[in-house]
Structure 1
């Protein structure tokens, strides 16, 4: 790779911008989870799994190729939106209930997988689109993973701090944030 070429720098900037856009989902999820209260060890675990999903899903999309991106591109975005709406509504509902009904636990294996998948599913459709172009797959996948992980750490830590300020309403506000982002994906 010729690092002095403007084409290489253009490709790097394009990949970085796509990675940042995909990472915003992880940031919003991190805010929602962080407001519920999260330990630093959980921040690392959640961020690592989100980073992994942000690498594996686009890689899977690239492997499958661009010939089905028109078919699944919108479907993947809608699925991610539906998952975020359901998670947000469940968090909001469980925070407002007075009994012991709990929302999806981000510390459980399935809760972690569900949260990570919901913010990473759109990277699959981006991977499908990127599969049509001859680009640097390794660089793309690593940058997507790094940005997804970094944005989730920022969101979790920021949400954790805000959650301490607003106390018991943190889970409700986190649910509203997830709900809003899910609705944004759907429309």
Structure 2
């Protein structure tokens, strides 16, 4: 994978966390930058660790699926992208309750883990292609930290609508990256 693909993948992986962060920001009573940075750091660390776990699991299976590994990477990215697009078009949940000033570490960690399950699946798919998983995972973590920090602050002003649109864009990007991996392995891209 080249640098452009890695950056696209990293930002695509961070869009569901961004959408969740916009929602978190919208549910807080005027979140401050410190709260946004804390949320970004928690999500970023989790999002950087989960592709490593998926990659390790995928590497364990590599010898059994080497002849069709590019199809696995494509399939996982396509399914995850389609799921993100579907979630982006779903109606947001309406909640009117008193807004807290911050979220607890555990609420943020559980939300971060829930939004990083797709990163684990992507990590498993990346085990089948030639990629430096450590730099890719770090890039995903940094992109997520940045996007979540921005998302919390945007949620303060814009609400959850922009998060849904970002999730749709992230899904489209994942499908594009999966298609590029498949095309490269089939010889269409050199």
With the length of structure 2 as denominator, give the TM-score of the two structures: 0.63
- Stretch deviating more after TM superposition (58-67 or 106-115): 106-115
For residue 61 of structure 1, what is the aligned residue in structure 2?
54
Alpha-carbon separation, structure 1, partners of 2:43 and 2:123: 16
Contact 2:19 2:151 in 1 (8 A): yes
Question: Once superposed, which parts of structure 1, at least 4 consecutive aligned residues long, lie more than 4 Å away?
Answer: 102-106, 175-178
Alignment of 1:128-167 (within 5 A): 128-162=124-158
Displacement after TM superposition at 1:73 (Å): 4.5
Shift of 1:175: 9.0
Residues 106 and 112 of structure 1 are in contact (CA less than 8 Å); yes or no, is this contact kept in structure 2?
Answer: no
User: What is the aligned length?
Assistant: 154
Segment of structure 1 superposing worse, 108-117 or 122-131: 108-117
* Residues in 2 aligned to 1:176 and 1:126: alpha-carbon distance in whole angstroms: 24
- The answer as to 2:34 corresponding to 1:13 is no
| Structure 2 segments unaligned to the other structure (5+ residues) | 172-190
Alignment of 1:109-128 (within 5 A): 109-128=105-124
The alignment yields a C-alpha RMSD, in angstroms, of: 3.9
| Cα deviation digits, residues 109-146 of structure 1 (max 9, x gap) | 33112211122111000000001123212211110111
- Is the partner of 1:65 in helix, strand or coil? helix
Decide whether the 8 Å contact of 2:19 with 2:162 is kept in 1: no
Distance 2:162 2:131 in 1: 38
Partner of residue 5, structure 1: none
Q: Which residue of structure 2 lines up, in the alignment, with residue 174 of structure 1?
A: 160
1:31, 1:160 within 8 Å by CA — same for their partners in 2?
yes
Q: By how many angstroms is 1:65 displaced?
A: 1.2
Deviates more, 1:124-133 or 1:33-42: 33-42
CA apart distance, 1:13 = 1.1
